[in-house]
Amino acid sequence: MGATVNSFMSNSLILCLSFTILLACSDVSHASRTRYYKFDIIMKNYTRLCQTRSIVTVNGQFPGPKIVVRDEDRLVVKVTNHVKDNVTLHWHGVRQLQSGWADGPAYVTQCPIQNGQTYVYNFTIRGQRGTLFWHAHISWLRVTLYGPIVVLPKKGVPYPFPKPYKEVPILFGEWFNSDPEAIIAQSLQSGGGPNVSDAYTINGLPGPLYNCSAKDTFKLKVKPGKTYLLRIVNAALNDELFFSIANHTLTIVDVDASYIKPLDTQILLITPGQTTDVLLQTKSQSPHATFLMAARPYATGQGTFDNSTVAGLLEYSPTSHMKSLPLLKPTLPALNDSAFATNFTSELRSLANEQFPANVPKHIDRQFFFTVGLGAEPCPKNQTCQGPNGTKFAAAVNNVSWTLPTTALLQAHYFGNWSKVYTTDFPVNPPFPFNYTGTPPNSTFVSNGTKVVVLDFNTSVELVMQDTSILGAESHPLHLHGYDFFVVGQGIGNFDPTKDRAKFNLIDPVARNTVGVPSGGWVAIRFFADNPGVWLMHCHLEVHTSWGLRMAWVVNDGPLPSQKLFPPPSDLPRC
């Protein structure tokens, strides 16, 4: 890997020396940088809620290290696994143009990194700026294996909003007092819902509203009259979250590393897998108060969930006698406030200007209609199951519940032996149409398989995702690997192709990599299939992913060299 980088630098230097025009030389030498990180996967003891547990970490840090890059930089991350669990890392939201081998989902783009093995993730950030994050992408290991990716604009390119005085990552997560791997293993065996987390966290800290946690509180110390950029990430395992800071307005300027038209709000909603950059303008003078920043779940399903609140403190300085100051608390929506969720998401708009255009597909080559939701599987003989009516919980897209292969799909695609690993008959429409948000069908059973949709390079795609009420309507944050997509429409009830498509926003729809399918409703997205490879799409509520709510898109190479998947790296892990 290092030889490749050195060769690139040498060739750039030769190129510069061969030109007599100084400008041309400076363009090459300042094109981009290569940034190196070393991630050692190790166990480390951490104590939260007065419970000490040995957790999987990167470099002993929880949350993990912050990565800082600029748009067009190359990132080289050497990952060595020192723990018993198999590990992969996903660079969530990174387009991975031609570099699908670095995307990270286990058995999709790579086999896992086993104990004692090393794998180098090598990719370039292209045309993105804002906040993304990295996390484990195998089983439930991402509960502690995650960290922020700060993508700055190219050198000399300003933000399209006021330059902040300071930038602060805010990462939401979940803490379990017991081993999450044991929790999901037990759930999959019994067929019932898994135990929920014991706390939510802000930057790894539960905060003062939890037992034994006042000392473990995130504190954001600010100065009066300053603008702060908060880079907010929802790295929680299974919960969408409302977030607010008492008596302060947040101005959203970027979501999922795409700029948007500035939007003022007192409360924001963020699903697992989403990022939101907000400007926080502090009071002009010290207000002689401390302000609670709080997050709690937006929960629409019928299952149990962690119904608690994580809090941190916004403290102005200089202020003496902090303990004697009044503590002001924010008001958050009701746990199931779907009206707020719908209104909030519909207000987000792409910047869509000359510098940052919204290239929305207008002509569509292929249309897809996917149902997403829960279902059931029969209980095996001689076993008692704890799912609905004695069955096992399952989840599906178009009634197909994903079967995890034992060989990585991308390798099978690249080397042409895919017929032994997956089939290309994923249904483009629901196999059995029904009243998706009304009376459920008689049978709630799902089918199983490793099925994909195959797309030619640069196909323009429209996908409508429809929630179902088979086992209760529920919001599902769907994440598409390898792509940003435009959210052109959403609504409540069943999608009506004639009426609803006429209302699509094709001018300035927000660009995202993760979108919430509304509870009892639908969402429509569009994108160009301009990135060759195999790309997973799944619910970012980890329990639903475990139950099978995932599928994959295979995008074939285009005719040009810049439209073809790179060959696999020599250190790609083997199954």
**What is residue 303's predicted lDDT score, i.e. its pLDDT?**
86
Residue of 202, 358, 353 whose CA lies nearest to 270 = 202
Q: Is residue 379 within 8 Å of 191, Cβ to Cβ? A: yes
Strands 67-70 and 146-152: parallel
**What is residue 442's predicted lDDT score, i.e. its pLDDT?**
86
Per the prediction, the chain carries an average pLDDT of: 94
Give the tokens for residue 285.
């003078």
Rounded CA separation 95/32 (Å): 17
32 confidence band (pLDDT: 50, 70, 90): confident
Confidence check: pLDDT of 402 > 90: yes
**What is residue 322's predicted lDDT score, i.e. its pLDDT?**
62
Question: How much is the average pLDDT of 305-309?
Answer: 96
Residue of 327, 340, 165 whose CA lies nearest to 246 = 327
Q: Give the pTM.
A: 0.94
Dump pLDDT digits (tens) for 345-378.
999 999 999 999 999 999 999 999 999 999 999 9
**What is residue 318's predicted lDDT score, i.e. its pLDDT?**
79
Confidence check: pLDDT of 319 > 50: yes
DSSP, collapsed to helix, strand or coil, labels residue 30 as coil
Rounded CA separation 405/421 (Å): 7
- Cα-Cα-Cα-Cα dihedral sign, residues 111, 569, 39, 97: negative
Element (H, E) at 51: strand 51-58
Find tokens 């484990």 and name the residue: 136
Question: How much is the average pLDDT of 257-274?
Answer: 98
Q: At what angle do helices 22-29 and 2-17 cross, to 10 degrees?
A: 170
Dump pLDDT digits (tens) for 528-554.
999 999 999 999 999 999 999 999 999
320 confidence band (pLDDT: 50, 70, 90): low
DSSP-derived secondary structure letter, 102: G
Confidence check: pLDDT of 396 > 80: yes
DSSP, collapsed to helix, strand or coil, labels residue 183 as helix
Confidence check: pLDDT of 453 > 60: yes
Find tokens 């199983």 and name the residue: 448
**What is residue 324's predicted lDDT score, i.e. its pLDDT?**
81
Rounded CA separation 306/286 (Å): 35
- Mean pLDDT is lowest, of 77-81, 106-110, 299-303, for 299-303
**What is residue 321's predicted lDDT score, i.e. its pLDDT?**
62
